[in-house]
């Protein structure tokens, strides 16, 4: 049976209600390759400073989730060093000089184990937090995410990370089809294309919340219950 909600966040299209005990914070692909200068994102011609503004609000949300003892899941987009899990279509799309697996200033692009593939220092996972490597855009595709959520009794997801219209959107759609109730945080998600960010968020909450809810981090943080001393580890 679904437990009664203990938090209510003012959101689009209406209040998002959840219980932190059955809610996971999902942080999508906050990797050096997407966020830092000289990473893959910049090599593709993108302005990575557009993603930097997500870091501070996301740090606050991550801190609050940790204080409440919520399940935290970090994802990383990337591939095996031998690239056997990289579809040729993904490797060749864009016809760029450099592609996934090519050497770059941060190591081989989007390859597991390389410096650029890892999560930025400001949001580094701590012990006990799942780090999920995904070969696709959606975090459910070819991963054990669904199993991990179900085994932890999770019904609700707070979705954050980059980029809004690609991996965040794909993951939110996948989660919605699997029955998870998703809140996407507008200032904790970001895109190289501000207009795509805006429209992607609108697509989520349109039609009565066709894929989920949208709110900013302030709305979420103000709605969170005060952590008990037990969950703070005191
Ligand atoms: C992209 C992602 N944009 N994490 N990946 O290729 O959104």
Active site residue 137: no
Atom of ligand 1 nearest to the CA of 167: 7
Give the model confidence (pLDDT) of 195-234 as tens digits. Answer: 999 999 999 999 999 999 999 999 999 999 887 764 444 4
- DSSP annotation of 23 reads E
| DSSP run (H or E) holding 198 | helix 194-209
Mean pLDDT of 143-165: 98
- Whole-number Å distance, alpha carbon 3 to ligand 1 midpoint, is 34
Question: For residue 187, how many C-alpha atoms fall within 13 Å in the half-sphere facing its CB?
Answer: 14
Q: What mean pLDDT is predicted for residues 53-79?
A: 98
**To test ligand 1's pocket by mutation, which of 162, 164, 169, 189 has the most ligand atoms within 8 angstroms of CB?**
162
Distance 233 CA to ligand 1 centre (A): 35
A 10 A CB-CB count for 7 gives: 18
Question: 29, 118, 133, 187: which is the annotated catalytic residue?
Answer: 29
Query: Is residue 175 within 8 Å of residue 157, measured between CB atoms?
Result: yes
53 is catalytic: no
Q: What is the pTM of this model?
A: 0.95
**pLDDT at position 3:** 60
Which of 133, 137, 167, 182 is flagged as catalytic?
Answer: 167
pLDDT at 100: 96
Torsion-angle region of residue 205: left (phi > 0), alpha (psi -120 to 50) or beta?
alpha
Helix axes 169-177, 194-209, angle to 10 degrees: 20
95 catalytic per annotation: no
């Amino acid at each position: 049976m679904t437990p009664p909600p203990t938090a209510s966040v003012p959101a689009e299209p209406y209040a998002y209600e959840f219980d932190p005990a059955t809610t996971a914070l999902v942080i999508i692909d906050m990797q050096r390759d997407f966020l830092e200068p000289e990473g893959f994102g910049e090599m593709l011609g993108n302005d990575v400073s557009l993603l930097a503004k997500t870091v501070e609000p996301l740090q606050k949300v991550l801190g609050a989730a940790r204080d409440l003892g919520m399940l935290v899941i970090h994802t990383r987009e990337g591939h095996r060093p031998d690239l056997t899990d990289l579809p040729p279509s993904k490797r060749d799309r864009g016809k760029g000089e450099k592609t996934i697996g090519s050497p770059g200033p941060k190591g081989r692009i989007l390859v597991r184990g390389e410096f650029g593939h890892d999560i930025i220092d400001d949001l580094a996972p701590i012990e006990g937090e799942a780090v999920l490597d995904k070969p696709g855009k959606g975090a459910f595709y070819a991963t054990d995410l669904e199993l991990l959520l179900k085994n932890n009794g999770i019904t609700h997801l707070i979705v954050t990370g980059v980029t809004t219209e690609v991996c965040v959107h794909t993951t939110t759609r996948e989660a919605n089809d699997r029955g998870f109730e998703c809140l996407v945080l507008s200032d904790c998600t970001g895109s190289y294309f501000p207009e795509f960010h805006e429209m992607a968020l609108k697509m989520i909450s349109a039609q009565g919340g066709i894929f989920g809810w949208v709110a900013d981090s302030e709305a979420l943080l103000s709605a969170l219950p005060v952590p008990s001393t037990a969950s703070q580890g005191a």
